[in-house]
């Protein structure tokens, strides 16, 4: 195709407009012959219009042919192209940034979703076992310690109880032997099942605090000494060296908690003239809680935490629970069947070997737990 500046293209354009004017005039003459005066006026108008159109096209064409005009148009086209390219590059850059940010957000969302799913599955498993996601009682000890996000691998509830007893309860009689106020203990169990880091209420009876600690230890699915090491620990009770070596096989959480509890029992035994609880008496009470075989779990303590994982209403707190045989002692003034049996220790024979082990851990605590961060109270 010839360029707009070529003479050939200009001649064709001029010829086109000239022939168009002639043809229009001829058409006007033909129309005037047919319709008279009206056709004459129409011819004149059409002729004028044709001339005006031709003149306008020629003038615009002349302007476009001027170098300055062509340069300006070219600059505008170049500028428009540059602007369009800039917007395209900016759009691509922003798109890449958004894609990058979106990718990071997707990864973060995936991680959170995976973590949440894991938590939900864990909660479901615990619910299937009859344990709520916030419960402290009836939960494996390592689960409670993991929740705490603390370097000290000892359940907070035991730390709270021990600190309270050391500060204001060592002289109280029959610690870890007296049952305490059942309703108070149930309320404390409910409190800790909702908040593992809860504080003990002011003025709480030390006997109730000791019973709460005992109740927690009894609720563990497996004793601190574990099922696996039961026989080994029992066989090492006559030798401090052998006992020290066997206890090192315990999981860290179990080992540190056992050291903590026996340190507390040692302090209590040192006040036995006032509290009536020497090492032997404490061993009798704590052996079934700290060391038991499969099938011999001290179930009598379950009455304190069963169906108490949420805030109990006043009605529920006052409602009688299903007591086990070991704990079915009638209150004062209540009629009882004199012929009913009252078996001790859940009707199971006393494990004297376990008693000797616990007494050894109390009396020889400092010699046995030499490599532990021994618990020291001021």
- Please write the tens of the pLDDT for every residue from 49-94: 656 656 665 665 565 566 666 666 667 767 777 777 777 777 777 7
**Comparing 127-136, 143-152, 318-327, 343-352, which segment has the lowest mean pLDDT?**
318-327
More confident position, 313 or 153? 153
* Integer Cα distance of 175 and 269 in angstroms: 10
Question: What pLDDT, on a 0 to 100 scale, did the predictor assign at position 59?
Answer: 63
- Please write the tens of the pLDDT for every residue from 221-262: 999 999 999 999 999 999 999 999 999 999 999 999 999 999
More confident position, 320 or 216? 216
On the question of pLDDT at 313 being above 60, the answer is: no
- Please write the tens of the pLDDT for every residue from 316-327: 334 333 333 334
Mean pLDDT of 200-219: 94
Q: What is the C-alpha radius of gyration for the chain, rounded to an integer number of angstroms? A: 48
- DSSP label at residue 250: S
Q: Number of C-alpha atoms within 13 angstroms, CB side, residue 19?
A: 6
> Hey, what are 24's tokens?
């229009």
Region of 340 (left: φ > 0; alpha: ψ -120 to 50; beta: rest) is: beta
Q: What is the pTM of this model?
A: 0.57
């Amino acid at each position: 195709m010839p360029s707009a500046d070529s003479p050939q293209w200009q001649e064709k354009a001029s010829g086109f407009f000239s022939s168009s004017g002639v043809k229009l005039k001829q058409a006007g003459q033909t129309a005037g012959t047919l319709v008279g005066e009206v056709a004459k006026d129409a011819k004149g108008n059409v002729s004028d219009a044709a001339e005006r159109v031709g003149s306008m096209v020629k003038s615009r064409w002349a302007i476009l042919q001027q170098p300055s005009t062509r340069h300006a148009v070219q600059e505008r086209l170049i500028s428009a192209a540059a602007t369009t390219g800039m917007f395209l590059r900016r759009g691509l850059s922003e798109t890449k940034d958004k894609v990058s940010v979106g990718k990071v957000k997707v990864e973060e969302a995936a991680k959170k979703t995976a973590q949440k799913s894991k938590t939900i599955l864990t909660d479901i498993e615990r619910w299937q076992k009859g344990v709520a996601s916030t419960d402290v009682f009836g939960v494996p000890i390592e689960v409670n310690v993991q929740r705490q996000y603390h370097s000290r691998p000892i359940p907070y509830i035991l730390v709270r109880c021990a600190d309270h007893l050391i500060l204001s309860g060592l002289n109280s009689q029959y610690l870890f032997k007296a049952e305490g106020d059942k309703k108070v203990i149930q309320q404390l169990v409910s409190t800790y099942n909702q908040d593992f880091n809860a504080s003990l209420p002011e003025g709480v009876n030390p006997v109730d605090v000791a019973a709460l600690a005992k109740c927690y230890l009894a609720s563990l699915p497996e004793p601190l000494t574990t099922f696996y090491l039961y026989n080994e620990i029992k066989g090492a009770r006559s030798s401090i060296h052998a006992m020290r070596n066997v206890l090192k096989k315990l999981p860290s959480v179990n080992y540190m908690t056992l050291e903590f509890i026996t340190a507390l029992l040692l302090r209590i035994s040192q006040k036995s003239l006032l509290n009536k609880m020497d090492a032997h008496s404490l061993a009798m009470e704590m052996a079934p809680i700290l060391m038991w075989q499969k099938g011999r779990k001290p179930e009598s303590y379950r009455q304190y935490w069963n169906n108490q994982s949420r805030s109990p209403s006043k009605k529920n707190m006052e409602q009688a629970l299903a007591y086990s045989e070991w704990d079915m002692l009638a209150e004062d003034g209540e009629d009882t069947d004199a012929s009913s049996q009252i078996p001790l220790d859940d009707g199971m024979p006393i494990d004297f070997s376990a008693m000797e082990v616990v007494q050894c851990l109390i009396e020889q605590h400092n010699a046995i737990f030499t490599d532990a961060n021994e618990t020291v109270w001021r």
